A and B are shown apart, each in its own frame.
Chain A
Amino acid sequence: MSTTIALAAAELGKRYKRGWALRGCGFELPAGRVAALVGPNGAGKSTLMALATGLLTPTTGTIRIFGDQPVRSGTHPKLGFLAQDKPLFRRFTVAETLHAGRALNPTWDQAYAERLIAEAGVPTQARINTLSGGQRTRVALAVALGRRPELLMLDEPLADLDPVARDEVMQTLMAEVAETGMTVLLSSHVLAELDGVCDHLLVLAGGGVRLSGDVDDLLAEHQLLIGPSEDSAGLFPTGSVVESRSTGRQATVLVRGAAPVDRPGWVAHEPTLEELVKAYLRSAGKAKAVAEAVSA
């Protein structure tokens, strides 16, 4: 069974006037996955999405959507995108918004978009600027899904939504994934809400890919080891330690791909998704701080 790759980047870089936003990025996102794109502010998440839509052109390397390079003249027909600010014409009614969607998208499925609006319980004659944040997100999601995309990218879709609206948006999204089998790339700060949702992970920090792959595989490859500090130096093969922290007598070490540690006083756990991602983000942050200190 050959795997279709929905989104792939190779040596992808983007330089703005102030410097590199992305540099040397490489990853593959297989079709049918629900992938989390995580990283601190300024990591390059939005830049990566803008490159995929064709709004930006890469400075170096390539990005491909189902094998094709994006063009500036319009988003790839298989790609749907929900931007962070959910751009909708605020004076339009919901019905007019769908009408615009139909006019702008050759692959538009009006019945499907209308069903999503009906399920969201949003009145079609309401103007966008009278809707709540949750309702606006549901409308923007219906517009993005109305194109019948095979790859849907969402930039921080849950930011500024209340907990009930968050649930509803994720439930709708996952139900559509179940029905259509589309690929999803979802960026978020809130790791806890991605646990159980995402089966693929892409961690960006400092403009580069720190970690990418199948969530279950990544969790199984890593061990979170807790043991006596005095023992920890030299215990793990160099290169396998992702992050090592010590609080007095106790050390907490995240290692990748190392053999099981069979030594008194040490306990191994499989990390949670949140522990794994945070360890990578912290170690990327430290590496950056060290590099800046050296160059200063």
Chain B
Amino acid sequence: MIEFRIDRRSGVATYLQLVQQTKQALRLGLLQPGDRLPTAKEVVAATAINPNTVLKAYRELEREGLVEPRPGLGTFVRRSLASAGTAEDSPLRGELDAWMSRAQTAGLDREDVEALFKAVLDTRYRLGTGDHTEG
């Protein structure tokens, strides 16, 4: 089962952090169709956030068709976000790994790589959406 981590200093709304972490787990295959999400009580007993926030996050995931509530049972994953492109053995991941290896050889440290990666990411992808800026 997924465990949420809340960063109170991130400036990102708490319910969005839950949504993003769930999607991340769906992308990486840590959550799969049929899996149950933790109940609001389980989440707040671990994170001390407001249960209404958990319900809001789950409603958002439901609206996007990713999860479905089953009354009396909990909230379950409907579909995965894992795509061939993000799997561990995908060619894209291999290329990125090779690129990072070159960056390491060139003497870039973690922060350099993060800054560079984010700069390219931001020019290619609009903030907050999954859409390409071009084409």
Contacts and interface: CB of A to CB of B under 8 A. Distances in A.
B50 A175 contact: no
Interface residues of A, number: 21
B44 A174 contact: yes
A32 B52 CA distance: 9
B6 interface: yes
B128 interface: no
Contacts, number: 53
B100 interface: no
Interface residues of B, number: 20
**Helix, strand, loop or mixed for chain B's interface?**
helix
A71 to B, nearest CB: 31
Given A32-B52, A174-B49, A192 B41 contact: no
B44 A178 contact: yes
A198 B50 contact: yes
**Helix, strand, loop or mixed for chain A's interface?**
helix
A174 B11 contact: no
A177 B49 CA distance: 10
B53 interface: yes
A231 interface: no
A139 interface: no
A179 B50 contact: no
B77 to A, nearest CB: 21
A192 B41 CA distance: 22
Max count, chain A CB within 10 A of own CB: residue among B40, B44, B54 = B44
B8 interface: yes
A196 interface: yes
Interface of A: 32-34, 167, 170-175, 177-179, 192, 195-199, 216, 272
Given A171-B44, A178-B44, 6 more contacts: A171-B48, A172-B45, A179-B41, A192-B9, A199-B50, A216-B13
Interface of B: 6, 8-9, 11, 13-14, 39-41, 44-54
